[in-house]
Every structure is written in structure tokens, then in C-alpha cells.
Homo-oligomer: A and B are copies of this chain.
């Protein structure tokens, strides 16, 4: 049994806990939190909760699933913990991946541990799809679309506007553009690829027109998209917008043959009732792979590109060849 520790207990942490409980080859070593341990209520009463500091003293875990955020938690925690533990994270700030990789690689090599970074569904699963598409169809076009789904980051940004009591922002792929990408078209702007739909509960007395204007002109978050703003009651928000669905699709379209006359389309689609539950599931599978890489004597930082995918499964190579190949 692989002893798995969970570091951080938000939505993804709960997803990871569920995934470990669904995995027959894993046992939960505990949840490690910087919050008051007594305030954490794991899904199973058997799950132990420890303060984060317990990791410094040494925890009996074969691998840690790091469930913190990419903004401040992971840049610090992943390299720090990689010095002592095998670790897996979901670092998703694309522009900072090279720096994060370098920091984690140095720490893991020093500690003779294995680390796999950026293992959610994007980056992670979708990255693998982009890679397969590019490898099979080097002359081609491709693009990634997200949604329909809730964007946590965009929802948070709207909540910070004065007069907003609560908000939920949905990302919607533009099907017409996706269709064009399947035909080989490229070069679309953010506005052409996705729209955004924002649902807002106003604080008493707030001016809806000003709030709507602040949303649709917000740099980076909304100004590059066609955004609709709908004002709803707190009751409607609670009744209809508490779920965290997400998904998306990765398209690769290319031409093969001596005259490039043969069209080829590869498309991977994901539809999730719960974004953090699926992220936790994938994180746990990469936790298994991380432990196994380490068992094979490998150390340093890896991404989804560097891991033989057979290591994600609890089945042996022989069983995999018999049942899934």
C-alpha cells in the first residue's frame, strides 16, 4: 500500500481524499494543514489531521499530494517538501512553470526524491493531448477550449469589486470557432474562442450599471471577451450556482499524405460535474506514478511528459498489456 499524505484541504484536497479512498493500492497517511487542525472535517472519520509543521518533523508518507494554490502556496511548498518527500502538485501558472520546474528539480535532486509538477487536467491531461496531437500531426493546427464551466479565478475577481456580495463566472467555448479549428483554421483571439457569463448578487444599494461596467472592462479577466452580466438574488445563487462543473476539449487537425490530401482529426473532450474532484483524482494517479518512479531509483522533477503512463495505473505492466493495450 502506498501511504499518501494530503497537504492543504480545500476543494482539491477533498477531491484527493476521495480519490485515495477509491484507490485499492493507497492508504491515507493523513491531512496536513496550516489551518487549525480542529477546524478540518475530513470525509472519513478515520482520516487523521496534522499541523503542517508535522511534515518538518517527518511524516510516514510515501508521497504527498500538494493541494494548495499556484499563486503563493506551491512556489514555496513544492520545493521545500521535495527536499524530504516525493511530491506531486497541480501548479498551473503557465508562465512560471520553467522557474518552478528548476526550483523543484534542484530540491528533489538534493533530497533524492521524485516530484511531478503541474498534474491537474490542464496543465496535465490536456498537455498530454496537445503533445500527442503535435507528435502525430506535425503539420497541422490545434487549439484548446475550456468550459462550459466555472472559472474560480474570474469569480474571485468579480467578488473583489465594490458592491458585489457574491459572483460566479462561467467560461463558455464558442462552438463556431471550435468547428473552424477542426477544419484546420488557426489564429483566433480570446474573444473568438470563449465568452464569459457572470452571475452577480449585489450588496444593498450598489449600482448595477457601475458594477456591470467594472466587470466587462476589467483588464485581462474580462476586457478581451464578450461578457454578459446577470444580477440574481442570493437565493438563486445558492440554488443554481453552487456546483463547480468544468471541462473542455483539445483539438488537433492535420494533413497527411504525399500531397497532404488526407485530413486527420484528433479530439479529446472532458465534461466534469466537479472540477476539483477530477483534479484530485488525477493528482492521486500521478501520486502513484511518483512513488513508483522513486522506487525505480529516479529522482528530480518530472511533468506528465516525462512519466510512462502505465505508472498511473495500479495494474502491473503484464496486466495492462493483457487488459488495456
Contacts and interface: CB of A to CB of B under 8 A. Distances in A.
A23 interface: yes
A246 B322 CA distance: 24
A132 B127 contact: no
Interface in A278-313: 278, 280-282, 285, 288, 303-310, 312-313
A307 B305 CA distance: 10
Contact of A272 (B128, B262, B270): B262
A160 interface: no
Chain A interface extent, by class:
35 or more
Interface in A188-242: none
A132 B308 CA distance: 11
A308 B310 contact: no
Interface string A232-275: 00000000000000010000000011100111111111111110
A128 to B, nearest CB: 6
Contacts of A97: 321-322, 325
B264 A278 contact: yes
Given A128-B309, A138-B23, A309-B128, A267 B264 contact: no
Contacts of A98: 318, 321-322
Q: How many copies does the complex hold?
A: 2
A143 to B, nearest CB: 12
A131 interface: yes
B130 A324 contact: yes
Contact of A262 (B94, B129, B269, B274): B274
A306 B317 contact: yes
Contact of A131 (B19, B310, B322): B310
A229 B265 CA distance: 29
B131 A22 contact: no
A277 interface: yes
A101 interface: yes
A262 to B, nearest CB: 4
A81 to B, nearest CB: 21
A145 to B, nearest CB: 14
28 contacts: A22-B256, A24-B138, A43-B258, A94-B325, A130-B324, A131-B324, A132-B309, A134-B313, A135-B312, A136-B282, A256-B273, A256-B281, A257-B274, A262-B278, A263-B271, A263-B272, A264-B270, A264-B271, A264-B274, A267-B268, A268-B268, A269-B269, A305-B310, A305-B317, A305-B320, A305-B321, A305-B324, A308-B308
Interface of A: 15, 18-19, 22-24, 43, 94, 97-98, 101, 118, 123, 125, 127-132, 134-139, 247, 256-258, 261-274, 277-278, 280-282, 285, 288, 303-310, 312-314, 317-318, 320-322, 324-325
